[in-house]
Structure 1
């Protein structure tokens, strides 16, 4: 047994030291058409865009057959009509924003901040949407057929039950969402902040830790359940969101929206929260304040004029809401950003 372990460790060390990047990355099929932007020694950087915005993806090969993607999305959707793939697993962690996974024509589910999803890539996606128009997170693609024997050996030594993960996810053709919890936070948090020169090695350690965690999927059954929404209802809710943001000076009650879109008030509130992660009121309030930020930066309109444009009849209430959300008054925010811009490039939050 000791000889076997030494051989496994020796082979794995050799594999770990390899740094060549593959010519093509398996997981780029997650995003549809992408344009290679930059090739570094340890990763590739891709950019994608459509009529809703733009995105940036940084791709690392952790092991042969395992890739890790850092996603920086400022768009409404990407990846129309993804091709299916056998014996491949897709894992996603949501850091910021909200991620919609739609499957076929009938159902979709949502990831919130801190959530983890794991699914078979045989489960065909018709779309991947970002309801809040921004999303930051990590995707991991595992091609089980491409894992080297040395990697499988070290996984066995660590009691990683790769066979069980494959059977549970791939053969079951499942999509599971684990809601945010301390274990998921522990695994992923430092991947977003690790120093660049330590990142390749650190990702290998964290990948093994993640697979060990997923080897206990059967004991975490209570956190693997998720709510699925009918896509016709989701389309209606998105129409509601579009309607209430079309004219920010208009004010609508839940009852009025319910009547206009022929949906019960209970279903409207429940489904809206399911899609956008918040109530209709909170969503519209946040949207108004984001528009206000944009107007403060891009126009010379007064605070009173901006308040009126986004539906606040009382400028003082607008100022209070802005300060509560962003920590400074509209006037202070405008001054501070212009001061920063005079010495450095400012990167704003997108609507």
Structure 2
């Protein structure tokens, strides 16, 4: 989860004259739009809402890239919800009038939107990407037969961390260069292979999956069984496994192992806790088994990992 102060920090380095009224209608939401160059706008979202029903209208059809730093947003259609935006996901769409209905799982949302108008984007920006057909190619590849797609890769997560955190003297030029980098990446085979499926779930079930996800994070060191989880949240075990994987793109077991590894890494870097204590915190009563698991995932022992960051 991003720190709110960091998230909005780069605004201090952008001249106020670049802020623009981009939306002809945005309902009760008040996004901040910043013009980076002709045909290229950055929109900053930082607000609370439970359900949003109003339309957002742009002056022209644009290529729209959305990334969430904090807060999940679901698309509501026919009383069913599907994941529309989740932290770490990049959504690619083509927008003119957005009349969809949305819900916010946590009631809070922080994110950014990049709007690229191919017909108006400046020649200077086209020279940055080095290909005057790149934007058209991206639009055609991802959106030729879909209204939007989701992508999740390590590159995208690192990219948007840098995007919000790095401060330079000429912040506008830095952001333009970063967006050019992102577009070039989206034209790569790695990005093409990372498109995620879209699946609609009944509202009652997806809310249970969110609750299970949160429970796993809050009980990361406990021994949990699928039977216990299914019984606790009154959902069939097979349905739970299927919907969890469709929502978070990994099995419950894989998610829990990844979360335990991430937490162990954080404790090794940021605390003086013993390796035995850390092993217990992430569900391992046997330190040797924890060390073997850690080495398999990180190609080094917990002790080596801690020493690496101390140095």
Q: TM-score, normalised by structure 1?
A: 0.52
Cα 1:322–1:97 shift into 2, 3 Å = farther
Equivalents in 2 of 1:91, 1:246: separation in Å? 34
Q: 1:311 offset after TM fit, Å?
A: 0.9
The correspondence for 2:99, drawn from 97, 122, 133, is 122
Cα 1:178–1:281 shift into 2, 3 Å = closer
Q: 1:330 offset after TM fit, Å?
A: 1.7
Aligned to 1:286: 258
Matched ranges for 1:104-115 at <5 A? 104=76, 106-110=80-84
Contact persistence 2:81–2:203 (CA under 8 A): yes
Question: For 1:263, what is the secondary structure of its paired residue?
Answer: coil
Aligned to 1:13: none
Answer yes or no: is 1:255 the counterpart of 2:227.
Answer: yes
Q: CA RMSD in A?
A: 5.3
Equivalents in 2 of 1:205, 1:323: separation in Å? 37
Question: For 2:20, what is the secondary structure of its paired residue?
Answer: coil
The correspondence for 1:102, drawn from 33, 52, 74, is 74
Cα 1:107–1:316 shift into 2, 3 Å = same
Q: 1:123 offset after TM fit, Å?
A: 2.1
Matched ranges for 1:231-270 at <5 A? 231-270=203-242
Answer yes or no: is 1:24 the counterpart of 2:20.
Answer: yes
Cα 1:225–1:262 shift into 2, 3 Å = closer
Structure 2: runs of 5+ lacking an equivalent: 1-14, 127-131, 188-194
Question: For 1:278, what is the secondary structure of its paired residue?
Answer: coil
Cα 1:327–1:111 shift into 2, 3 Å = farther
Answer yes or no: is 1:176 the counterpart of 2:148.
Answer: yes
Matched ranges for 1:298-313 at <5 A? 298-313=270-285
Contact persistence 1:111–1:117 (CA under 8 A): no
Deviations 1:328-347 (A, max 9, x none): 322222222223xxxxxxxx
Cα 1:98–1:333 shift into 2, 3 Å = same
Structure 1: runs of 5+ lacking an equivalent: 1-18, 37-43, 45-58, 72-76, 214-222, 340-351
Contact persistence 1:92–1:118 (CA under 8 A): yes
Deviations 1:135-162 (A, max 9, x none): 9x97323689xx86999xx9xxx89999
Report the count of equivalent residues: 253
Q: TM-score, normalised by structure 2?
A: 0.58
Question: For 2:238, what is the secondary structure of its paired residue?
Answer: helix
Question: For 1:61, what is the secondary structure of its paired residue?
Answer: strand
Equivalents in 1 of 2:296, 2:281: separation in Å? 19
Q: 1:280 offset after TM fit, Å?
A: 0.6
Deviations 1:167-221 (A, max 9, x none): xx9xxxx84216689xxx9xx99x98xx9987677689899999xx9xxxxxxxx
Equivalents in 2 of 1:79, 1:86: separation in Å? 20
Deviations 1:103-133 (A, max 9, x none): 246312356978642154332433277xxx9
Deviations 1:215-237 (A, max 9, x none): xxxxxxxx897222333212101
The correspondence for 2:55, drawn from 44, 61, 84, is 84
Cα 1:33–1:230 shift into 2, 3 Å = same
Higher deviation after alignment, 243-252 or 83-92? 83-92
Cα 1:209–1:322 shift into 2, 3 Å = closer
Equivalents in 1 of 2:38, 2:117: separation in Å? 10
Contact persistence 1:84–1:123 (CA under 8 A): yes
Cα 1:267–1:298 shift into 2, 3 Å = same
